């Protein structure tokens, strides 16, 4: 689910190998219009150029790539009619952008009202072109959960729309809202993070506040009760780097320590599988500059540029060259120079000092950008980004629609390790992207 920085379903056919395709003819050299932001959803990803153009690739069954089709794309396609984006946020099968001219626009799955244009239900299975979100102005930050969206406004308030089955929109009732609604009792918001069914915020002063699904302790208030009313997370005053995974949440404390709370079935809180925690507990890293959270794994970036991940090791998502769980935090192999990280459902990407991106984990739907949605071998280059200035990621819930909907996180992870593409160590992304 998305945090301040906001990754990631559908069935895919596993192919062998795959090569990176060359850039589209006529694309400007990367240096003329460098990328400045990357965001990831269920099994699709998007990149924003400095000019505001947006390119997307990966799964597209709901039109989440915004190219006017519902065809999977293993190389980038440009989002239609978006030339002035300043921020991105991606959910399970929907995407949104904050534009200079018209505010927030969204595209992709809309059954739960994710596009925010006033419509929901079966007729909104696909929205293949961006549509304007109604009734919102002054948005400065976006965050996406699995099937809901939130935006922080200049005035410090938060508006959310989409799925509300767990109260994640912060409004009474459990009906979805196809238009933004204001979250009551939340002011002075600085950062947002959204999980499968919960939402959290940080503020300049005061503790982290969360609302929505609390069944696994992911609200951090010491209980497993959920609800639409924001609850304070004790011991998180001044917290930053807020991230939300499927059913867990993590933050960097003012002291530099990392704390996590919520689901812990694969050790995503502290590196060792165990009981869920409804209050913050220490994570196996400290002094990190940023965090990212996937379905059941978490990663931290050190000031030196190394990345450590802990939690579920299936599909190679820990980046340590294996597909097995690790005790404590595992250091990602061959990655000494990361500057930013972002985790999705079962994969993670890192921005490197040279301006390229390295990714590891599942390649379901072509999420790693190798030109095919199947297994990746060796250290072949995958999808390219050049001179990236900012990496924005959101992890989203693996509660994929259709075939995935009835599986638990553990079942999906086990299925992913055998049925989808896997990369157990980072792949440096080749430098091209028009």
Write the pLDDT tens digit of every residue in 274-323.
899 999 999 999 999 999 888 898 999 999 999 999 999 988 889 988 88
Per the model's pLDDT, the better-predicted residue between 159 and 358 turns out to be 159
Residue 243: phi and psi, rounded to 5, are -140, 150
Ranking 27-31, 245-249, 284-288, 407-411 by mean pLDDT, the lowest is: 407-411
Adjacency order of strands within the sheet including 290-293: 290-293, 297-301, 307-311, 330-331
Strand partners, 349: 342, 359
Polymer length of the chain: 434
Per the model's pLDDT, the better-predicted residue between 408 and 261 turns out to be 261
Percentage of the chain modeled with pLDDT above 70: 78
- Name the residue among 55, 58, 54 with its Cα closest to residue 44: 58
CA angle 344–141–157, rounded 5-degree value: 125
pLDDT band at 427, cuts 50/70/90?
A: low
Ranking 25-29, 105-109, 266-270 by mean pLDDT, the lowest is: 25-29
Ranking 57-61, 159-163, 430-434 by mean pLDDT, the lowest is: 430-434
The reported pLDDT for the residue numbered 46 is 86
User: What is the per-residue DSSP string for 325-381?
Assistant: --SSPEEPTT-S-EEEEEE-SSEEEEEETTS-EEEEEE-GGGTT-SSSSS---TT--
Parallel, antiparallel or unpaired: strands 297-301 and 307-311 = antiparallel
Ranking 37-41, 391-395, 402-406 by mean pLDDT, the lowest is: 402-406
Grouping H, G, I as helix, E, B as strand and the rest as coil, residue 12 is: coil
Query: What pLDDT digit, counting tens, does each position of 182-207 carry?
Result: 999 999 999 999 999 999 999 887 78
pLDDT band at 64, cuts 50/70/90?
A: very high
Q: How far is it, in rounded angstroms, from Cα 415 to Cα 421?
A: 11
Mean pLDDT score of the chain: 80
Percentage of the chain modeled with pLDDT above 90: 52
The reported pLDDT for the residue numbered 376 is 57
- Please count the other Cβ atoms lying within 10 Å of the Cβ belonging to residue 71: 12
pLDDT band at 27, cuts 50/70/90?
A: very low
| Rounded average pLDDT over 22-39 | 57
The reported pLDDT for the residue numbered 31 is 60
- Name the residue among 125, 126, 183 with its Cα closest to residue 149: 183
For residues 105 and 62, the answer to whether their CB atoms sit within 8 Å is: no
| Rounded average pLDDT over 400-407 | 27
Ranking 247-251, 319-323, 335-339, 369-373 by mean pLDDT, the lowest is: 369-373
Domains and CATH numbers, the chain: 30-428 (2.130.10.30)
Q: How far is it, in rounded angstroms, from Cα 37 to Cα 46?
A: 8
pLDDT at 71 over 60: yes
Beta carbons within 8 Å of 32's beta carbon, 6+ residues apart = none
Joined tokens for residue 330: 């595992």
| Rounded average pLDDT over 382-386 | 40
Joined tokens for residue 245: 């995974």
| Rounded average pLDDT over 196-222 | 94
pTM of the model: 0.83
């Amino acid at each position: 689910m998305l945090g301040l920085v906001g990754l990631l379903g559908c069935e895919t056919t596993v192919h062998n190998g795959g090569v990176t395709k060359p850039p589209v003819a006529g694309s400007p050299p990367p240096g003329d219009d460098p990328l400045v932001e990357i965001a990831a959803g269920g099994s699709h990803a998007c990149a924003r150029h400095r000019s505001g153009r947006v390119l997307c690739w990966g799964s597209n069954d709901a039109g989440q790539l915004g190219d006017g089709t519902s065809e999977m794309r293993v190389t980038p396609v440009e989002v239609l009619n978006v030339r002035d984006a300043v921020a991105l946020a991606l959910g399970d099968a929907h995407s949104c952008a904050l534009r200079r001219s018209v505010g927030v626009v969204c595209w992709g799955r809309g059954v739960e009202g994710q596009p925010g244009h006033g419509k929901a239900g079966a007729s909104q299975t696909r929205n293949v072109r961006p549509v304007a979100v109604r009734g919102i102005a002054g948005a400065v930050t976006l965050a996406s959960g699995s099937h809901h969206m939130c935006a922080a406004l200049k005035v410090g308030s938060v508006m959310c729309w989409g799925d509300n089955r767990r109260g994640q929109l912060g409004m009474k009732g459990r009906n979805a809202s196809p238009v933004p609604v204001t979250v009551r009792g939340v002011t002075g918001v600085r950062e947002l993070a959204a999980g499968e069914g919960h939402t959290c915020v940080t503020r300049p002063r005061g503790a982290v506040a969360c609302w929505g699904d609390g069944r696994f302790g992911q609200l951090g208030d010491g209980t497993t009760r959920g609800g639409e009313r924001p609850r304070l997370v004790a011991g998180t005053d001044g917290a930053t780097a807020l991230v939300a995974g499927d059913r867990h949440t993590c933050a960097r404390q003012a002291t530099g320590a990392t704390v996590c709370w919520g689901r812990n079935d694969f050790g995503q809180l502290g590196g060792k599988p165990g009981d869920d925690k409804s209050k913050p507990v220490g994570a196996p890293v400290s002094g990190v500059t940023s965090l990212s959270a996937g379905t059941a794994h978490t990663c931290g970036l050190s000031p030196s540029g190394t990345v450590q991940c802990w939690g579920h090791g299936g599909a190679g998502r820990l980046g340590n060259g294996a597909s097995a769980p690790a005790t404590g935090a595992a250091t990602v192999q061959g990655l000494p120079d990361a500057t930013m990280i972002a985790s999705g459902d079962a994969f993670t990407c890192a921005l490197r000092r040279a301006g390229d991106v390295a990714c590891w984990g599942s390649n379901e739907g072509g999420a790693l950008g190798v030109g095919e949605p199947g297994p990746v071998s060796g250290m072949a280059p995958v999808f390219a980004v050049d001179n990236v200035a900012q990496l924005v990621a959101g992890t989203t819930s693996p509660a994929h629609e259709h075939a995935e909907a009835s599986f638990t996180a553990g079942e999906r992870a086990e299925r992913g390790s055998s049925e989808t593409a896997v990369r157990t160590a980072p792949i440096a992304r080749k430098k091209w992207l028009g």
